[in-house]
């Protein structure tokens, strides 16, 4: 069982101490005897301990930076929401195929932003522009926010903030089961709490440092019982020997565990495994022993954002995935909504 994240090293921007959360976090980490260093900017953490890239990467993944979010212009976040709301960047997990490997490049450390009220004010502006249409905010575009939230409670504040808002909705996804502090948040049904799930084989070999499937399912049951609208992202869907049985077992376990009322308002999102050439280089550098299949010749090339091509499964494999997983969802969760396959 993976324990809740505790940083081994903390950096703090001096201005973060002007905010109650910044002060509170520094007091907490001092009390825990964790080394705290000053940094002028959360974008410029240098001299991380470690003798080589491999060690420095691992140190970074257990380093937390307490800073301010300076850019309050939100990115768009299609297809699951209108905007990405930035409370944190980075993740302590070690998923080999993590999308952050390339987007964060040389800065794999975890950043938490303490100017939460300013982030809410910016969200308010976006909601006003679209009102009376609802505006959905995705809180896990640049991090697994649940993984760090037992320390910061920023997500909990956001859940309650959107719980009170008229037009705002919050969504996030996690591979962590440390949800207990979120169960009593006053969400008013405005937050969709999603878990990223995969079959046991994939979690075992490619998602070190995250909660196991049974733990995620257990947490999902608690979240459903707390009245949250619930969702699951099956991602990345990865073809391995026995994948049909693996995913069947995953859905079977999920169906057996979830209470009947939770199955009535469920969403599923399906994302196939993909990689880019730069991502492949980073994965091979950070996880040289990985069993992850990254053979371009077995994949279909597809134009991606920013002109960087990505390698996805062939058309036939994609059809097979859609048919197989789609039929499992229909069978086990006939009332659920399959939002998209990409």
Among 98, 146, 224, 270, binds ligand SF4 (CB under 6 A): 98
Contacts of 161 (CB under 8 A, 6+ apart): 120, 123, 168
Computed on alpha carbons and rounded to an integer, the radius of gyration of the chain in Å comes to: 20
Instruction: Give the C-alpha separation, 155 to 161, whole Å.
Output: 10
Contact criterion met (CB below 8 Å) for 276 and 308: yes
**Mask for 206-225, x = binds ligand SF4 (CB under 6 A):** ----x---------------
Contact criterion met (CB below 8 Å) for 85 and 115: no
Taking the complex as a whole, the smallest distance from the CB of residue 211 to ligand SF4 amounts, in Å, to 9
Instruction: Give the C-alpha separation, 220 to 231, whole Å.
Output: 9
Taking the complex as a whole, the smallest distance from the CB of residue 288 to ligand SF4 amounts, in Å, to 17
Residues 49-78 within binding reach of ligand SF4 (CB under 6 A): none
Among 82, 144, 149, 215, binds ligand SF4 (CB under 6 A): 144
Instruction: Give the C-alpha separation, 23 to 305, whole Å.
Output: 39
Q: Which stretch binds ligand SF4 (CB under 6 A): 91-99, 237-245, 289-297, 326-334?
A: 91-99
Among 10, 16, 64, 95, binds ligand SF4 (CB under 6 A): 95
Residues 161-190 within binding reach of ligand SF4 (CB under 6 A): 175
Q: Which is nearer to ligand SF4, 175 or 192 (CB)?
A: 175
Taking the complex as a whole, the smallest distance from the CB of residue 287 to ligand SF4 amounts, in Å, to 11
Q: Which stretch binds ligand SF4 (CB under 6 A): 13-21, 72-80, 92-100, 271-279?
A: 92-100
Among 22, 67, 86, 93, binds ligand SF4 (CB under 6 A): 93
Taking the complex as a whole, the smallest distance from the CB of residue 138 to ligand SF4 amounts, in Å, to 13
Among 91, 203, 234, 294, binds ligand SF4 (CB under 6 A): 91
Contact criterion met (CB below 8 Å) for 144 and 175: yes
**How far is CA 190 from each of CA 54, 116, 195, 334, rounded to the nearest angstrom?**
41, 19, 16, 23
Instruction: Give the C-alpha separation, 42 to 50, whole Å.
Output: 19
Taking the complex as a whole, the smallest distance from the CB of residue 93 to ligand SF4 amounts, in Å, to 3
Q: Which is nearer to ligand SF4, 65 or 127 (CB)?
A: 65
Instruction: Give the C-alpha separation, 271 to 266, whole Å.
Output: 17
Q: Is the dihedral of CA 191, 196, 197, 203 positive or negative?
A: negative
* Strand positions, DSSP E, 58-187: 63-67, 83-84, 88-89, 110-113, 135-138, 168-174
Taking the complex as a whole, the smallest distance from the CB of residue 100 to ligand SF4 amounts, in Å, to 5
Instruction: Give the C-alpha separation, 191 to 328, whole Å.
Output: 26
Taking the complex as a whole, the smallest distance from the CB of residue 235 to ligand SF4 amounts, in Å, to 8
Contact criterion met (CB below 8 Å) for 172 and 193: yes
**Residue 149 contacts ligand SF4 per CB under 6 A:** no
Q: Which is nearer to ligand SF4, 210 or 267 (CB)?
A: 210
Taking the complex as a whole, the smallest distance from the CB of residue 174 to ligand SF4 amounts, in Å, to 7
How many chain residues are in contact with ligand SF4, going by CB under 6 A? 8
Instruction: Give the C-alpha separation, 245 to 242, whole Å.
Output: 5
Q: Which is nearer to ligand SF4, 69 or 190 (CB)?
A: 69
Instruction: Give the C-alpha separation, 191 to 81, whole Å.
Output: 12
Interface residue list for ligand SF4 (CB under 6 A)? 91, 93, 95, 98, 100, 144, 175, 210
């Amino acid at each position: 069982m993976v324990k809740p994240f505790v940083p081994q090293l903390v950096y703090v921007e001096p201005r973060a101490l002007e905010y109650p959360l910044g002060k509170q976090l520094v007091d907490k980490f001092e009390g825990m005897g964790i080394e705290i260093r000053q940094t002028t900017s959360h974008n410029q953490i240098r001299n991380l301990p470690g003798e080589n890239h491999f060690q420095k990467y691992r140190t970074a993944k257990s380093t937390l930076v307490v800073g301010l979010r300076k850019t309050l212009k939100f990115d768009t976040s299609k297809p699951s929401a209108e905007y990405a709301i930035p409370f944190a960047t980075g993740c302590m997990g070690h998923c080999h195929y993590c999308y952050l490997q390339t987007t964060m490049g040389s800065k794999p450390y975890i950043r938490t932003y303490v100017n939460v009220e300013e982030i809410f004010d910016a969200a308010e502006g976006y909601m006003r522009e679209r009102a009376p249409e609802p505006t959905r905010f995705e809180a896990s575009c640049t991090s697994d926010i649940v993984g760090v939230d037992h320390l910061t409670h920023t997500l909990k504040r956001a859940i309650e903030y959107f719980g009170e808002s008229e037009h705002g909705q919050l969504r996030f996804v996690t591979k962590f089961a440390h949800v207990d502090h979120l169960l009593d948040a006053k969400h008013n049904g405005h937050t969709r709490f999603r878990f990223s799930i995969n079959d046991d084989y994939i979690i075992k070999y490619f998602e070190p440092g995250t909660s196991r499937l049974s733990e995620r399912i257990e947490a999902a049951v608690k979240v459903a019982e707390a009245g949250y609208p619930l969702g699951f992202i099956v991602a990345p869907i990865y073809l391995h020997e026995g994948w049909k049985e693996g995913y069947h077992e995953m859905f079977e376990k999920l169906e057996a565990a979830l209470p009947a009322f939770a199955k009535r308002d469920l969403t599923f999102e399906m994302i196939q495994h993909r990689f880019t050439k730069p991502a492949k280089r980073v994965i091979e550098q950070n996880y040289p022993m990985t069993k992850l299949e990254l053979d371009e010749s077995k994949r279909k090339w597809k134009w991606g954002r920013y002109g960087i091509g990505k390698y996805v499964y062939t058309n036939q494999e994609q059809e097979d995935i859609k048919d197989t997983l789609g039929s499992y969802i229909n069978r086990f969760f006939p009332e659920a909504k399959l939002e998209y396959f990409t």
